[in-house]
Amino acid sequence: MAPWSGLWGGKAGGDAYRGTPVVVKMENPNWSISEISSPEDDDEDILAAAGRRKGGRTKNAKQIRWVLLLKAHRAAGCLASLASAAVALGGAARRRVAAGRTDAEAGVVAATGESPVVRSRFYAFIKAFLVVSLLLLAVEVAAYFNGWNLAASALALPVIGLESLYASWLRFRATYVAPGIQFLTDACVVLFLIQSADRLIQCLGCFYIHIKRIKPKPKSLALPDVEDPDAGYYPMVLVQIPMCNEKEVYQQSIAAVCNLDWPKSNFLVQVLDDSDDPLTQTLIREEVAKWQQQGARIVYRHRVLRDGYKAGNLKSAMSCSYVKDYEFVAIFDADFQPHPDFLKRTVPHFKDNNELGLVQARWSFVNKDENLLTRLQYINLCFHFEVEQQVNGVFLNFFGFNGTAGVWRIKALEDSGGWMERTTVEDMDIAVRAHLHGWKFIFLNDVEEAAASVAFWSNAAIQALFTDIIKCKIAFWKKANLIFLFFLLRKLILPFYSFTLFCIILPMTMFVPEAELPDWVVCYIPALMSLLNILPSPKSFPFIIPYLLFENTMSVTKFNAMISGLFQLGSAILSGW
């Protein structure tokens, strides 16, 4: 065996580190293999190795082979589990694409009577596009391996066989396919630049607000002592909690609302339960009874006919005879837990401001770090509240109502026609109609209310709102803002170009190189926009790459929602929870 040498400056004496030698016999006696220990080895390991050497036992090649086999078996097990998870995920995605809905939505579709054919048309188009892309990819790969590198100047040369067919495809592609794709590319690039400029202006407005420290301030604050309602500004407030089968969160939301720091005689809680599960109804009713026994002014309402879903639920609650005694209404979804001082920080803004119709608070999320999906959704919603809502509230006194964590002046709701069941986005619908009637909105970026979930909402019934905007007698700049910015640019153009440009044109340029897509459109501007989107949530910077993929994926859903809302297809004309 070859002598051991101290590779780390050690000596060959007894004090030096020595490893357990593994000897492999070879035909050439001048060669041997030894395992040398590192300086980090513990003294106990060295002594144990020495004891094994004294016993005459050493590791041989067969033992090493068994260790490697065990490690390979463990790695194979990990790969098998990953493969199983991938197969399950692929099966779920295949069912989603085939049916156009998740398994959880099947009951809703059955209840509304929606035709699955209508919902699956969009996903059938996606499948057809993927099949065509794979076929084109196969053709290009085959042409590459066969050496069919036909330049435009060589297309007129005589070729035979499959190469002739490929040359014909190249001529057809350059003459008929490329011009159409190039025209669509140029149009999407122009829309992309317009939308990027709008987003950049919004970010500059947000920076200006922070630099100037612009913040809505009430003219008078509610007094800290709520025992004497006559001592301060404590108007009558109606608090509504619409819910439907919220067995997991109803206790927290009811408890949070009942503990609001407001005179007990000056606010009433309405629990608007649309649950169809008898057990859930019983549990919520018992929870309401428990708080009634503790002195809270709270009532339980359940509708037998669930017409209009959430919008219908709110409309039904506002028809109660005692609502006329209240001046304001605060709305919280069942997964929200407002802070005790919520009413103290929002309601005072209404005093001596008769044009104010809505005060909207910002959301905070308790499950933002639960998984990758909630992290990515949190990035979008942070930008929505920090930039879009705040900038529109400061400079335009208008923004889309978020459906919860807001306080409405009841007179503003009544002047706007109340809650309507014509759309799935009743919050945006009522906000636009209130703005058309001259009511102003305030967004409080420093008042955060905790939400137990992160969710998305989609656009619908856009045509109905367009009609209201055109007929309404308001200033021209307000109509222009609603039509061109609020709806056309941010609700229609954004999902259209993002889906068309990055999900259709960008992949097709791989197969149609004659249609050129500038590098700055693919790389630089999207990177800049992503950085701007992620600035309101700086701790999410490590997720910027998954966020880009997430945005491309969500563009498909947003485009589908835009088409459904614009042409009132499928579920767009239905209202749902």
Catalytic residue among 273, 335, 427, 429: 427
Residue 276 near residue 309, CB atoms below 8 Å: no
Looking at per-residue pLDDT, the higher value among 422 and 454 belongs to: 422
Question: 3-state secondary structure string, 384-402?
Answer: HHHHHHHHHHHHCCCCCCC
Taking 50 as the threshold, does the pLDDT of residue 291 lie above it?
Answer: yes
Each residue's pLDDT tens digit, 333-350: 998 999 999 999 999 999
Task: Report the mean per-residue pLDDT for the chain.
Answer: 79
pLDDT at 112: 42
Q: Who contacts 362 (Cβ-Cβ below 8 Å, separation ≥6)?
A: 385, 389, 405, 443, 444, 445, 446, 447, 448, 449
Structural domain spans, the chain: 229-456
Q: Which of 90-94, 499-503, 557-561 has the highest mean pLDDT?
A: 499-503
Which tokens go with 32?
């041997």
**Assigned fold of 229-456:** Spore Coat Polysaccharide Biosynthesis Protein SpsA; Chain A (3.90.550)
Q: Which long-range contacts (CB under 8 A, 24 or more apart) does 57-60 make?
A: 58/20, 58/21, 58/22, 58/23, 59/20, 59/22, 59/35, 60/22, 60/23
Taking 50 as the threshold, does the pLDDT of residue 571 lie above it?
Answer: no
Catalytic site residue 415?
no
Instruction: Provide the whole-model pTM.
Output: 0.72
Looking at per-residue pLDDT, the higher value among 185 and 551 belongs to: 185
Each residue's pLDDT tens digit, 118-172: 557 767 877 887 888 788 888 888 887 877 765 544 445 455 567 777 888 888 8
Q: Who contacts 455 (Cβ-Cβ below 8 Å, separation ≥6)?
A: 377
CA gap 303, 321 in Å, rounded? 16
Which tokens go with 243?
């819910």
Beta-bridged to residue 450, according to DSSP, are: 337, 364
Each residue's pLDDT tens digit, 376-421: 888 989 999 999 999 999 999 999 999 999 999 999 999 999 999 8
CA 479 to chain centre: 29
Catalytic site residue 274?
yes
Label the pairing between strands 267-273 and 298-302.
Answer: parallel
CA gap 379, 534 in Å, rounded? 6
Q: Among 68-72, 381-385, 475-479, 566-570, which stretch is predicted with the lowest mean pLDDT?
A: 566-570
Catalytic residue among 273, 274, 335, 429: 274
pLDDT at 347: 95
